[in-house]
A and B are shown apart, each in its own frame.
Chain A
């Protein structure tokens, strides 16, 4: 059972407004706006090249937007980068933690960079929470994909972020491990005080986990809504079908759904 976010709550952990990223010959992100509220898991969906990772990189401050603004906990990422990123963290399949450090060493290293208070105690809690105690002194490069994902997630919640960005966190995991990871992420959203922005190509898991989804195509948000009701609203049986239709025939979608 997913705990739904309080729709009346005025606080927004992430506010993206009129965000654009123009590369020399390509508009990667085209004037998108959205927000994420506390306890909310928002799915950012779209085919390869839609602009998902570009958007996440801009939110993380490692890619400068061409236009628009990003606010995390009311701190502007462009002008108040340090304060904005202090309450943010992320896990991405393409950003593994250094494989030549042990689990405990990685958590200690990143804990210092995020200036986590009571770090030793926090690491013990996370080792327990993510079932990593027996891997404490194992180098991350020697762990299985599932174990590495758990370590990356432990690092991602080290600083108890108000905004957690997850870029395909369950890619390359077997179904059982992926289910465990989804359970962990749901708990983070329901028990913590922040929100989560999640990208995935697995529509089943998106439907299971996300409270709201945004469909991105060629840098634009084509439509957004509840992943459980969206397929029916658009005359298809499943979210998978809706995804495929939007990816192949985006221009046939009525603009009012965007």
Chain B
């Protein structure tokens, strides 16, 4: 609650304005930092100077996560709520991190194994590879079509 700490309205307003100002400056600087990393890293600022993806992407993700933490904790006031209530919000979101990793992993797997999936569009047929001679595997069409049940 706003003026529950024995502050007068004027003192409370002064403190509130400070929260707003500091928050604005922090969010603005972090956003400019992110855009700066993207522009410098992709070679738009200094000609021919780029940063590797393993440096840029974790930098940008951590800055975004910091912004998210700041908005939720300070602006949305979750940092000042009762601990149990804050956990009911933060825990489900934290568990989601594994979901993100698992699905991105799956997408990457699809990229490396796309050739094993049949594309129904015309002109996209991929010739079926002959099995290596040293294996005993037989292609389906080479198997005998006549079945015996005796």
Q: Do A and B come from one complex?
A: no
B interface residues with partner A (beta carbon < 8 Å): none
Give residues in A with beta carbon < 8 Å to B.
none
